[in-house]
Amino acid sequence: MSELAADDSDDRRRSIGARRSPETERAILEAAEAIMAEVGIAGFSIEAVARRARAGKPTIYKWWPGKTALLLDVYHRQKPDTVHMDTGTVEGDVFAFLTGVFAHWGDTGAGQVFRFIVAEAQRDEAAAESLRVYAAERRLQSGQIFQRGIDRGELADDVDVGLCADVLAGFIWKRLLTGRIERDPVELHKVARQMVRGLLA
């Protein structure tokens, strides 16, 4: 086979495999969102999404290894921008994050979706891997709250922003899984203050 023919073959494989068609991807995500809105988790399946989006199941599985991965993309797509606001202070950013996440979980049904994802990850390795990838991406995003604080001189230079993001995620995940996503602003301000200022006198 000539070098040119080999390159053409590689290009075709990439176009069929790794490269996503934006139109098809949008159709799949919109179909998944519509199914979630209409029938919830109980009626959600790759088969149902494929029918609604008029896409082949192999295409969906090529881009999302399973139902959990697709659900995570739908979940993140619906998350409001207000969750990650730059308020000018770390405490303000943490308070906005907590308020935004709990509102999203409580007002839209997204909390039930995320609880389902966490439960699936306990019994299915593919679901667990999808959640690990998602959590790693969100760790980087939430870490920006604390990195901005370092850049502004609010926080010490040696603060581990990843560890801060883990503490923040641990708090909200525990509240979700134990049914405690109340949005009392007094309490959430207290959480933000203690998380940022620490426990020392």
CATH number for the region 3-63 comes to: 1.10.10.60
3-state helix vs strand vs coil in the chain, percent to 5: 80, 0, 20
Residue-level pLDDT, tens digit, the chain, 201 residues:
433 443 443 332 233 345 678 899 999 999 999 999 899 888 899 999 999 999 999 999 999 999 999 999 999 988 888 889 999 999 999 999 999 999 999 988 899 999 999 999 999 999 999 999 999 999 999 999 999 999 999 999 999 999 999 999 999 999 999 999 988 999 999 999 999 999 887
pLDDT value of position 18: 53
Q: Are 61 and 126 in contact (CB under 8 A)?
A: no
* CA–CA–CA angle 119, 123, 126 (5° rounding): 100
Question: Looking at residue 1, what is its pLDDT?
Answer: 43
- Rounded to the nearest angstrom, the gap between the alpha carbon of residue 88 and the centroid of all alpha carbons in its chain is 24
Residue 46's pLDDT is what? 95
The token pair at 128 is: 């667990």
- Residue 154's Cβ-count burial label (10 Å; 0-12, 13-18, 19+) is middle
CATH of 76-197, one of 3.40.50.300, 1.10.3720.10, 3.40.190.10, 1.10.357.10: 1.10.357.10
**Every domain of the chain and the residues it spans:** 3-63, 76-197
Residue-wise pLDDT for 99-156, tens only, equals: 999 999 998 889 999 999 999 999 999 999 999 999 999 999 999 999 999 999 999 9
Element spanning 155, H or E? none
pTM, two decimals, is 0.82
pLDDT at position 15, please? 34
